Amino acid sequence: MTGKREKLEDRLKMRRLTTDDTAQYNALLRYAFQVTDSELAAIGWDQKDIEKSKKPVLKKTESFGFFDGEKLASQISIYPMQVNIYGQMYKMGGVTGVATYPEYSQHGLMSRLIKEALQNMRENHQSISMLYPYFIPYYRKKGWEIVTDIMTYTIKDTQLPKRRRTEGMVERVSIDSEDIRTVHDKFTAKRHGALKRNSLEWEEYWRWEADDVLVAVYYNLNEEPTGYLVYYISNDVFRIKEFVYINEEACHGLWNYITAHFSMIEKVVGKNYTNEPMAFLLEDSEIQEEIKPYMMARIVDFEAFIEKFPFDIISIYDDLHFIIEDPVMECNNGDFTLRWDGNGETIIERGGTRGRTVRCNIQTLTTMFFGYRRPSYLRRIERLEADDEAVRILEDILPIDQPYFSDYF
């Protein structure tokens, strides 16, 4: 057995994927996620459609794979993306296409691909990474942590909110309307955690559902788009895919539009990514809500991440001494001193023991700086080692806001 293992490991070579690898890339994804021809046919797709759609993706992503001769055995892809962190746009590496054929498992291929992918992100100045996990414990071991939730709510037709007077109007538009993108760009600029959608992101957003969904846009009195609703109606259920608005007027206007379907539907089922329950906003709050983890993130390069981070600096604080553990990225391991100058500018230095000590792993650090969990909570559950003063400083300087992320890739 040892001889066979050594022979296989000698054969396996890592390299970048190109568009010439599209067929094998897609075949591995279909095998790993058990997508059948009948399922593709049910949504009007076939093999050629998928290969055509994935070819530009491979052009725009950084993709790596292990090959056994000419056969693709394991793969990973990185989307070049941007995400809003408390008003500061960060370059982000979106991890997708993670798959390995079972006969090549237990050889450490994916661990090596993940390390290669993270190193690539660092070289491309993507100081953070996000992914949708197929198995949360695995990605935690690699340094990712939960940073957003998805809430599914069900509202009976009799529980729909009463109409509110608004000055504007709602109009249904095609999915390629620029007004949708205009609203989302304004929303992204204001919303912590939101993904900025460029052409690649919009392509992914519409990939599987473009023929099924409808889009309604709210226009204010000046005919400016300020909100939109992506939805479809099936079996007397109004299903909301995305509900985006940049002010409360647009929110009320879009709910008026949903309520106008009262005679056509029995209930509304939607997804909420704000990590805030919907029930409190409704007159009849006895609705069904289900919450589960959604996206995971990890800091790829701690120093680069901190240099841009928009701290809430109220006054000059004592230094902080971070001791960080990272299971993959060596650059994040060790001691870091964090301080602020007289102008409130952040200065981070590797090494040193000056300041209040904060000890944690990269997973805890990520969820704390994303705002998903606060420092005091993380210390209470023994994920963060810090004294009272260090926690007080962290609570003061870290902005308070829950991350919003509604995309999937």
Do the beta carbons of residue 66 and residue 113 sit within 8 Å? yes
* Regions of the chain with pLDDT less than 50: 1, 36-53
Integer angstrom CA distances of residue 164 from 127, 138, 168, 255: 43, 47, 11, 9
- pLDDT of 342 reads 77
Q: Determine the pLDDT at residue 316.
A: 61
> Any idea which residue has 């846009």 for tokens?
217
Is 141 inside any structural domain? no
Query: Which CATH number is 61's domain given?
Result: 3.40.630.30
Report the alpha-carbon angle 19-24-26, nearest 5: 85
Give DSSP secondary structure letters for 2-14.
HHHHHHHHHHEEE
Report the number of distinct structural domains present in the chain: 3
| Residue at 43 is within a domain | yes
Residue 182 in any domain: the answer is: yes
Classify 247 as helix, strand or coil.
coil
| pLDDT for position 299 | 98
Same structural domain, 225 and 191: yes
Asked whether residue 286 falls in the same domain as residue 392, the answer is no
Domain boundary (293, 327, 346) is at 293
Residue 263 and residue 193 share a domain:
yes
For residue 90, how many other CB atoms are within 10 A of its CB? Answer: 19
Total Cβ atoms within 10 A of residue 359? 15
Round to whole Å and give the CA distance between 193 and 81: 12
* Predicted local confidence at residue 253, as pLDDT: 97
- Write the CATH number for 312: 3.30.1050.10
Residue 287 and residue 343 share a domain: no
As a whole number of angstroms, the distance between CA 279 and CA 292 comes to 17
Same domain, 236 and 122: no
pLDDT given at position 279: 79
**Is the same domain home to 157 and 59?**
no
Count of CB atoms within 10 A of residue 159's CB? Answer: 16
Strands (E), 12-70: 12-16, 62-68
Q: Are residues 65 and 29 in the same domain?
A: yes
Look up the pTM and report it. 0.89
Question: What is the token pair recorded at 327?
Answer: 């299971």
Same-domain check for residues 364 and 307:
yes
The residue from 277, 293, 309 where one domain ends is 293
DSSP reduced 3-state for 371? coil
- Determine the straight-line distance between the first and last CA of the chain, rounded to whole angstroms: 39
Among 187, 241, 185, 179, smallest CA distance to 214 is for 241
β strands within 136-212, DSSP E: 145-146, 149-156, 169-173, 195-196
Q: Are 23 and 122 in a shared domain?
A: yes
Q: What is the C-alpha to C-alpha distance for residues 128 and 93, in angstroms, rounded to an integer?
A: 6
Whether residue 306 is found in the same domain as residue 289:
no
Question: Does 274 lie in the same domain as 191?
Answer: yes
User: What pLDDT shows up at residue 210?
Assistant: 65
307-310 contact pairs (CB < 8 A, 24+): 307/346, 307/348, 308/85, 308/88, 308/90, 308/127, 309/85, 309/86, 309/88, 309/346, 309/369, 310/85, 310/86, 310/87, 310/88, 310/399
Q: Which two tokens stand for residue 314?
A: 């109220």
Determine the structural domain holding residue 7 and report its residue range.
2-126
